[in-house]
Structure 1
Amino acid sequence: MKYQQTAKEIYTAVGGSENIQTATHCITRLRLTLKNQNQVNDEEVKAIPGVMGVMKKAGQYHIILGNDVANYYRAFTKLGNFSAEPVASTEKKNVFEILIDVISGCMSPLIPALLGGGMVKVLLIILPLIGVLSETSSTYAVLSFFGDAPFYFMPVMLAFTAAQKFGVTPMLAVAVGGIMLHPNFAAMVAAGDPVSIFGLPITLASYGSSVIPILIMVWLMKYIEAFFNRIIPAVMKNLLQPLAVLLLSGVIALVVVGPLGTFAGQGLSAAVIWIQAKAGWLALGLMSALMPLIVMTGMHWAFAPIFLIASAATPDVLILPAMLAANIAQGAAALAVSMKAKDKNLKQIAFGAGISALLAGVTEPALYGVTLKYKKPLYAAMISGGLCGIFMGITGVESYAFAVPSLVALPQFINGSIDGNFINACIVAAASIVITFALTWFFGIEEEVTTADAVLEVVESGSSDPKKVLAPVKGKVIPLEKVNDSAFSSKVMGQGIAIIPEENTIVAPFDGTVSALFPTKHAIGLTSEAGMELLVHVGIDTVELNGKYFDSLVAVGDTVKAGQPLLTVDFAGVKAAGYDTVIPIVVTNSDTFIDVVPKDEMKTADYEDAVLYVI
């Protein structure tokens, strides 16, 4: 009954169906998209039984309900017909921000595939270099299309994710993506002969690896499906609607939507070439800065003639040099995010994406999985790319071979008759890494708060929260699993953390009472004002010391305040006696609470640092 009552009170407090656009949940939070967050009284929501806190993030209103959130969510959804699919919030955004949000939202599910493909490409560079794999072998050839497939068929995968976002029949959207990539159409593009459908001219363009055309097309399909759904009689709908939607969508994709990127690219190509003729340094700066957006829209295919010139061994002074600065910048930005991010999953994704961009020149994982999603790293990469591009334009950097620019491919800038060209290319690579990394670090990232972080943020909002556990000793924090004692590492005794001590005084981690003190003084039990039972166990097997090196400053039943000294320990003596000095800190009644959350990424904790939370 508590779920229904809490759900009703939340429903009323946030404004009911008139204010709720979407409702979904994660591990501990009910996540609502509201038309107007300002009309909600946060304190009123916090006062509802079962609610542990609220927070506002990325346009959503998060209500923290703990591990039982699924039951609250089920009760909540019975009160109204709420979609779980996010819709546009009332927060004002410009067109670019809206476009970025749509792209990143649709691209996110593709990141594992793109990252996998990128790392395969890295292997195809490294393995031949170390003599493990021959570039003429069939294994190399097969692995090549392993690496290419996620990128080439990206429009098909995007069609599926975009269909889910826009409410389009997924397989019809995928079919349209297939039309744009069909081998027969690709052959027509390669042949270059005029092609038309129903008398309408089709622009011959390659849509492999493109993003914007299929997203626009699936968005239009939302209205195309609605139109045919309205006019086709119900008795014929199953037969005629798929036919009508596929025909019209396919024609629009090839005749109207798809060519937009090509036409825009041709215009950009003409503009850049004109600028290059007037001020080559400026053209290269613009190309280097805009390269991520050019690749994203698929407009880079409009520069194919310049690529072909480069492949014919004529020095390229525009596209490949610009890609050098841009590719390296994407990799550096991703690595900076990997080092700065708190979320472990983001760290791993960003690191892999950075390696892919730096070593193989494959920037899609970095662009779509990291920089575009968090925006500021993208701005950092574009600024750095622009500056490096200007430098290349002034120094006249040229590429003498067609290869995707990366750190490994730097030899493409070697020319025996021009000594400084390769040196300048190396300077650009180094500068791109340093400048991008520094700017990304300075700009920071607006990281999506994880469930654990959200809980920490809520409980940290009040400095006197009795469910916060401060470090009882200064030292290095380690996971409880790393303690060399199965009673603690297996968490049989409860959830918690451990600290390798750096000082000899053990203090109270919260306000409470001393509930237990072992005669050997090696362990002390504390009970907080909220009923949390905490065991501070000083060392492993130190019970065998029979109190030697330990002095107690309190007795059982004493009331203590946070920071008050409890024990003094001669840790040098304990170590000399051959004992491990690690201090497990365990909530022995963990089962009576919703969750016990250790604070991650804290190399060294001081006495006033919170290291554990109980909710």
Structure 2
Amino acid sequence: MRTEDRRVARAIVVALGGAGNIRGLTHCATRLRFELRDASRVDARALDADPAVLGAVAQYGERYQVVIGGAVEDVYDAMMAMPAVRDAISSCDGDCDVVGDGGMADDAPVPHVPDAVLAAAPAKADSSAADPAAAAPDAPDRTDSTPVAHEMDTTVFPSSGVFAMFHGKRGITRRIAHCLNWFFEYLSDSFRPIIGVLLGASIIIALVNLCLALGVMPNDEASAGWVFVKAMWKGVFVFLPIIVAYNASNKLRVDPWLGAMIMAALMTPQFTGLMNAADADCVTDPTLGVRSCTVHVFGLPMHLNDYSGNVFVPLIMVLALAALYRGLKRVLPRSIRIVFLPFVSMVVITPLTAFVLGPFGAWLSNGIGVSLAWLSMHAPFAFAVLLPLIYPFIVPIGLHWPLNALMIVNVQTLGYDFIQGPMAVWNFACFGSTAGVLLLAVRERDDAMRRTATGALLAGLLGGLTEPSLYGIHLRHRLVYRRMLVGCAAGGLTGALLGWFFPSVTPSGGVMHGVIAWSFAFTSLLTIPLFSRMWVYVASIAVAFVVPMALIAIFDYRTKASAENVDDSRVGGQDADNPQTTGEKGITLGISENAPDDDGIVAGHADAVDDADAVGADGTVGVGSAVAADADADDAVAVVAPVAGAVLPIDDVSDPVFASRALGDGVAIRPDVEADDGPRTIAAPVAGVLKTVAGTGHAFGIRADDGIEVLLHVGVDTVRLEGEGFTMTVSKGERVRAGDPLATVDFAELRRSGVDATTMMTITNTAKMTSVTPLTGFDAAVGDPVIAVRR
């Protein structure tokens, strides 16, 4: 398990109010989904400040989502490895005490990173988390009006929960909203654990269809090879009811094996074979082609259906099982529960499902399939255009999961699905918007956005995942949504027009005016062969992709004022004889001599801070503080060197967490430790409050008065020295000015101990800054600017 995963897990737990505040935890492809005891304890600012968190979404009631991205499973595993988290979840039926340290196991310590990075959420750490009243005085107050997940563009989504609009209502309206929210979450939690399996199966189907189209594989379903290949993916969908029953039982805290076993009883060959009995009275649905039969069991009529692939039957069955299961737990003595709890549940729920719940679930799924098929056949234009326009608004609040269940129902009943074609239009409009942002980031040399957009685009095109794009980019810039909606409409209209003139042929020989899919799939480049007509599908998603990409590349995705701010401050090429480090906003700091640029801004490293008067009142050294700076650049600040040495790019350090910029962008300073000139002073790089001071004196977290959060870490893995060679001169909560001593370090002692003395300094809230420009490639003195920051 990676150190970074443990750090992220611990930071999230602390920000959520401690392990004891967590009632339940699940995850999907990109999000951690929490059930909390008290959502008011969540420190949204700490979550937002963590570079590993793409976004945080408060839902109705005490539910909370934290968007991680592709590393969500690793962070989930790291969190579930914490004994305090496991204990809190397993004992959630009782009262849980808040564990302020985040529940990190004693045998799985997080080395030097967490103590410093948690500077963004100090009020939630240690014992203060257990008592909100004891929190640090500067901790943000959590009230009903405190904004949550404040990076989300509220002009697009005015509420962060599915039914948050009813949060202040009372009576029947609020109860209905709560029940609907619970139902959708129950439905989605029953599918999330098998997303990977469904995605893998869909790719296998796509490859098989591609081989058939190219003639690589003969289309002979009677051959042993074909049967074997088909079994590789078909087993997922045939036994899907058993898998869903297991997950649904887990969600409702019922023995999952009990739920799976009851569903399996209705799918045994002997039970389904009753449909072929001589006395069976069978009928076939003319629209779906689904066969159902009636037989008599102990003199009672039983309606039999093929439950393969049906997801509604297990969902309904588990609801009844949970009600009985909890009732039995209240009345049965603990000593006999292990025997009679499953026995009574099986004896009651199995016949109830066979006679009542199963037929009802089959009728419900068939009815939905018939209704949607009618809508798609009689209103194909409205269906193809409106569905992509709706998806961008239901995905961020989780309402798209019920549609996933309907897609699976369609495949199992109709033999094809007609929802995924229009859904893919929205997906590729989303990916095209991200591609447009990436083009601008490359053109403007915006490294932070380039990295974010590249990862989100790859996750989308290859995996069909939209969350990295949504939470990493789109929800933070409302103009992206406007461009994307144009792409959704254009792609949907393209699919509707081409689908009308070139309809698809269904397995029964019917005609469908639109794109159909032969299996449930995550729409990506890899699953294109699953769709028919394939060229119509490709044309519609291509239009959906290109239109928003072009709109963003031409008209930008930022507001006019923000774009002008970038364009007006852009600086041209560098002089080869006078190399400069140029920021995104035109902050130019010469590193060979103190020559003013065209705007009169000077930032020579050698004389940038000649004396204490050069340091501003806020403790940050203004860019070009050695001389008069341009008035338009008064919001540019510099973070100065805490120790003398060679300034290097942060990705040159041996610490993988810092090198990956997981803790923000910054620099590394390599002190000259060859000369044994005694202890050296580590100076404060900015003025502000010490939010975190490592007990060993090797790490400091400072929140500057202007909101810049600086993490200073002396040496790599110096925590193992247990303070040897370090002498602290400050304490947590103390206010410092730029240049004030924080500690003294005997670098010669570090050298003798075999420790890398490279000092790392990053801006942990880089994502909130307009630009963070590391100034590297020179030897800095204490107080020289090494990072230029535009807020």
TM-score under structure 1 length normalisation? 0.51
Return the alpha-carbon distance in structure 1 between the equivalents of residues 539 and 33 of structure 2. 47
Post-superposition offset of 1:256: 3.3
Q: After superposition, what is the alpha-carbon deviation per residue over 1:438-457, rounded to whole angstroms, capped at 9, x for unaligned?
A: 99999x9xxxxxxxxxxxxx
Post-superposition offset of 1:249: 1.8
Return the alpha-carbon distance in structure 2 between the equivalents of residues 147 and 131 of structure 1. 20
Could you say if the C-alpha distance between residues 426 and 241 of structure 1 is closer, same or farther in structure 2, counting changes exceeding 3 Å?
closer
Question: Which of residues 497, 504, 528 is equivalent to 2:659?
Answer: 497
Supply the RMSD in Å over aligned alpha carbons: 6.7
Q: Which residue of 2 aligns with 1:296?
A: 405
Are the counterparts in 2 of residues 325 and 432 from structure 1 also a CA contact under 8 Å? no
Q: After superposition, what is the alpha-carbon deviation per residue over 1:557-587, rounded to whole angstroms, capped at 9, x for unaligned?
A: xx769xxxxxxxxxxxxxxxxxxxxxxxx97
Return the alpha-carbon distance in structure 2 between the equivalents of residues 425 and 267 of structure 1. 27
Return the alpha-carbon distance in structure 1 between the equivalents of residues 240 and 759 of structure 2. 50
Post-superposition offset of 1:166: 0.9
Question: Which of residues 239, 243, 253 is equivalent to 1:167?
Answer: 253
Return the alpha-carbon distance in structure 2 between the equivalents of residues 368 and 183 of structure 1. 41
Question: Which of residues 137, 143, 152 is equivalent to 2:238?
Answer: 152
Q: Which residue of 1 aligns with 2:326?
A: 226
Are the counterparts in 2 of residues 337 and 350 from structure 1 also a CA contact under 8 Å? no
Q: Which residue of 1 aligns with 2:425?
A: 329
Q: Which residue of 2 aligns with 1:455?
A: none
Q: After superposition, what is the alpha-carbon deviation per residue over 1:400-422, rounded to whole angstroms, capped at 9, x for unaligned?
A: 36384574366x55xxxxxxxx9
Return the alpha-carbon distance in structure 2 between the equivalents of residues 369 and 208 of structure 1. 33
Question: Which of residues 199, 204, 227 is equivalent to 1:115?
Answer: 199
Return the alpha-carbon distance in structure 1 between the equivalents of residues 638 and 453 of structure 2. 22
Question: Which of residues 41, 59, 82 is equivalent to 2:96?
Answer: 82
Q: Which residue of 2 aligns with 1:49?
A: none
Return the alpha-carbon distance in structure 1 between the equivalents of residues 189 and 17 of structure 2. 26
Is 1:215 aligned to residue 315 of structure 2? Answer: yes
Q: Which residue of 2 aligns with 1:195?
A: 295
Post-superposition offset of 1:526: 7.0
Query: Which runs of no fewer than 5 residues in structure 1 stay unpaired?
Result: 1-6, 47-52, 308-318, 355-365, 414-421, 445-462, 500-507, 537-558, 562-585
Post-superposition offset of 1:135: 4.3
How many residue pairs get aligned? The number is: 449
Post-superposition offset of 1:168: 0.5
Could you say if the C-alpha distance between residues 343 and 430 of structure 1 is closer, same or farther in structure 2, counting changes exceeding 3 Å?
closer
Return the alpha-carbon distance in structure 1 between the equivalents of residues 184 and 786 of structure 2. 37
Post-superposition offset of 1:218: 1.8
Could you say if the C-alpha distance between residues 266 and 368 of structure 1 is closer, same or farther in structure 2, counting changes exceeding 3 Å?
farther
Superposition pairs of residues 518-537 of structure 1, within 5 angstroms: 527-528=683-684, 532=712
Return the alpha-carbon distance in structure 2 between the equivalents of residues 153 and 367 of structure 1. 28
Question: Which of residues 164, 182, 188 is equivalent to 1:104?
Answer: 188
Could you say if the C-alpha distance between residues 334 and 60 of structure 1 is closer, same or farther in structure 2, counting changes exceeding 3 Å?
same
Could you say if the C-alpha distance between residues 264 and 193 of structure 1 is closer, same or farther in structure 2, counting changes exceeding 3 Å?
closer
Q: After superposition, what is the alpha-carbon deviation per residue over 1:284-326, rounded to whole angstroms, capped at 9, x for unaligned?
A: 778998998566147845995x76xxxxxxxxxxx76x35623
Could you say if the C-alpha distance between residues 135 and 433 of structure 1 is closer, same or farther in structure 2, counting changes exceeding 3 Å?
farther
Is 1:606 aligned to residue 773 of structure 2? Answer: yes
Post-superposition offset of 1:71: 8.2
Q: After superposition, what is the alpha-carbon deviation per residue over 1:249-303, rounded to whole angstroms, capped at 9, x for unaligned?
A: 2233333333444333444456567668976655777899899856614784599
Is 1:125 aligned to residue 209 of structure 2? Answer: yes
The aligned amino acid for 2:503 is E
Is 1:399 aligned to residue 504 of structure 2? Answer: yes
Return the alpha-carbon distance in structure 2 between the equivalents of residues 188 and 464 of structure 1. 82
Return the alpha-carbon distance in structure 2 between the equivalents of residues 265 and 295 of structure 1. 13
Post-superposition offset of 1:188: 4.5
Are the counterparts in 2 of residues 535 and 587 from structure 1 also a CA contact under 8 Å? yes
Return the alpha-carbon distance in structure 1 between the equivalents of residues 496 and 383 of structure 2. 8
Return the alpha-carbon distance in structure 1 between the equivalents of residues 376 and 97 of structure 2. 51
Return the alpha-carbon distance in structure 1 between the equivalents of residues 162 and 517 of structure 2. 40
Could you say if the C-alpha distance between residues 498 and 109 of structure 1 is closer, same or farther in structure 2, counting changes exceeding 3 Å?
closer
Superposition pairs of residues 221-300 of structure 1, within 5 angstroms: 221-230=321-330, 237-268=337-368, 271=371, 281=381, 293=402, 296-297=405-406, 300=409
Q: Which residue of 1 aligns with 2:23?
A: 22
SS for the counterpart of 1:218 is helix
Are the counterparts in 1 of residues 310 and 365 from structure 2 also a CA contact under 8 Å? no
Indicate the larger mover: 229-238 or 213-222. Answer: 229-238
Could you say if the C-alpha distance between residues 238 and 428 of structure 1 is closer, same or farther in structure 2, counting changes exceeding 3 Å?
same
Question: Which of residues 576, 588, 597 is equivalent to 2:758?
Answer: 588
Are the counterparts in 1 of residues 88 and 96 from structure 2 also a CA contact under 8 Å? no
SS for the counterpart of 1:255 is helix
Post-superposition offset of 1:175: 0.4
SS for the counterpart of 2:309 is coil
| Structure (1 or 2) with the greater helix fraction | 1
Are the counterparts in 2 of residues 514 and 527 from structure 1 also a CA contact under 8 Å? no
SS for the counterpart of 2:405 is helix
Q: Which residue of 2 aligns with 1:582?
A: none
Are the counterparts in 2 of residues 117 and 146 from structure 1 also a CA contact under 8 Å? yes
Are the counterparts in 2 of residues 515 and 526 from structure 1 also a CA contact under 8 Å? no
The aligned amino acid for 1:399 is S
Are the counterparts in 2 of residues 197 and 251 from structure 1 also a CA contact under 8 Å? no
The aligned amino acid for 2:357 is V
The aligned amino acid for 2:183 is L
SS for the counterpart of 1:181 is coil
Return the alpha-carbon distance in structure 2 between the equivalents of residues 210 and 375 of structure 1. 35
Are the counterparts in 2 of residues 22 and 33 from structure 1 also a CA contact under 8 Å? yes
Superposition pairs of residues 28-47 of structure 1, within 5 angstroms: 34-38=36-40
Are the counterparts in 1 of residues 433 and 548 from structure 2 also a CA contact under 8 Å? no
- Percent of residue pairs identical: 15
Q: Which residue of 1 aligns with 2:529?
A: 408
Could you say if the C-alpha distance between residues 168 and 479 of structure 1 is closer, same or farther in structure 2, counting changes exceeding 3 Å?
farther
Post-superposition offset of 1:174: 1.1
SS for the counterpart of 2:23 is strand
Could you say if the C-alpha distance between residues 598 and 282 of structure 1 is closer, same or farther in structure 2, counting changes exceeding 3 Å?
closer
Post-superposition offset of 1:120: 1.9
Query: Which runs of no fewer than 5 residues in structure 2 stay unpaired?
Result: 1-9, 47-52, 67-77, 99-160, 168-176, 277-290, 392-399, 438-450, 476-480, 508-515, 519-526, 558-617, 622-636, 642-647, 691-699, 701-711, 717-737, 741-755, 776-784
Q: After superposition, what is the alpha-carbon deviation per residue over 1:387-440, rounded to whole angstroms, capped at 9, x for unaligned?
A: 5675467x3542236384574366x55xxxxxxxx9766644544656799999
Q: Which residue of 1 aligns with 2:288?
A: none
SS for the counterpart of 1:194 is strand
TM-score under structure 2 length normalisation? 0.42
Return the alpha-carbon distance in structure 1 between the equivalents of residues 274 and 548 of structure 2. 41
Could you say if the C-alpha distance between residues 177 and 146 of structure 1 is closer, same or farther in structure 2, counting changes exceeding 3 Å?
same
The aligned amino acid for 1:150 is V
SS for the counterpart of 2:305 is coil
SS for the counterpart of 2:258 is helix
